[in-house]
Amino acid sequence: MNVYFLSLILTVILVISFNTEALSPHYYDHSCPQADQIVTNAVKKAMSNDKTVPAALLRMHFHDCFVRGCDASVLLDSKGKNKAEKDGPPNISLHAFYVIDNAKKALEEQCPGVVSCADIVSLAARDAVALSGGPTWEVPKGRKDGRVSKAIETRQLPAPTFNISQLQQSFSQRGLSMHDLVVLSGGHTLGFAHCSSFQNRINNFSTQKQVDPTLNPSFAASLKGICPAHNKAKNAGATMDGSTTSFDNIYYKMLMQGKSLFSSDQALLTTPSTKKLVAKYATSMEEYERAFVKSMIKMSSISGNGNEVRLNCRRVR
C-alpha cells in the first residue's frame, strides 16, 4: 500500500513538472517568431489613445487566471442561455477586450491558427507593465484556449472586502503563496476603483465606527467627498495610487500611510510577515520589480483546461 501511494505521489509530481515545462519563452520561435512584437504593437497603439488600457489588461489577465486557470475563458462572449465570465459581477468593469481582438487579428494574418488567445492575454499584461515604466520579462508561452466560461464562477475571484485569511485561502488554492499575494497586490499601482469597491470602509464601517479607523483621516474625508453614502454617480471612484498610469511602488508607500482603498489592501498589514514585505517593497523599487516578475510568471502558469487555439478570441469554434 505504501509503495502504491509513493508511486502515485511521484506520478502527480511528474505531471505537475510536465505541465510547467510545457510553457516556454521559445514556444513560437519557429511557428510565429513575430508573436511578441505583434502583441506589443497592439498594446502600444491602444495606450496612445487610452491611458486606462494597461490597468485593464493587467486586471484582465489576473481575472482570467483565477477562474479555470489561464485559458482565455474571460474573453468568451455570453451566448444563448450561457452567461459568460465577462458578464459576472466582478468583471462588469473589465474592458479593453478590443486590444486582444486587434492583436489576434494581426497574428492570424501572419501565423494563422498558431498563437492562442490565452498567450495573447499573458503577453499583453507583460507589455502593459513594461510600457508603463515597469519591468519586462520573457513570457513562457504555449497555453491553450478553453471552451467553458460561466459567470457564476467569477465568485471564485478574491473580493476587495477579503481579510487576510480569505486572501490566503484564495491564493493557496491556486498554488500561490502569501509572498505572491503581497507582490501581485502591488499591481494595484495601475488603475482605478469604483466607489462600490471601498464603500464599506468609509460609510457604516461597523456599529461603533462610521469610517475604518485604519484609514488616514484626511484621505478618508477625501474619499467620502467623492463617494457619499448614497452615491448615484455610476463612474465615481478613485485612483489606486498617486501615479495611476506609472508602474511603481507608490502603492506600498500609500498603504503604509493608511491610504489604501480596499479592505484587501489594508489586510496586508495585519500579519507580521506580510507587513514586513509591504515595508520592504515600499523602500526598494528594484526588489519589488524582481519579485513582481517572478510572481507574474508563476501566476500566468496556472494550468487551464484549454486544448485548442481559438481563431476568434470571443467565441469557440
Summarize the annotated binding site for substrate as residue ranges. 158
Please, what's the b/e burial string for 276-287 (b: 16 or more CB within 10 A of its CB; e: otherwise)?
ebbeebbeebee
Rounded alpha-carbon distances, angstroms, from residue 159 to 52, 75, 170, 220: 21, 20, 10, 20
Which residues does the annotation place in the binding site? 64, 67, 69, 71, 73, 85, 158, 188-189, 241, 244, 248
Burial class (CB in 10 A: 0-12, 13-18, 19+), 146: buried
Total residue length of the chain: 317
Which residues does the annotation place in the binding site for heme b? 188
Nearest to 66 by CA among 210, 219, 184, 192: 184
Which conformational region is residue 204 in: left (phi greater than 0), alpha (psi within -120 to 50 degrees), or beta?
A: left
Give the catalytic positions in this structure. Answer: 63
- The 10 Å Cβ neighbour count of residue 105 is 13
Report how far residue 46's alpha carbon sits from residue 6's, in angstroms, rounded to the nearest whole number: 52
Rg of the chain over Cα atoms, rounded to whole angstroms, equals: 20
What residues contact residue 1 under an 8 Å CB cut-off, 6+ apart?
none
Largest CA distance in the chain: 66
Which residues does the annotation place in the binding site for Ca(2+)? 64, 67, 69, 71, 73, 85, 189, 241, 244, 248
Do residues 117 and 310 lie in contact, with contact meaning Cβ atoms separated by under 8 Å? yes
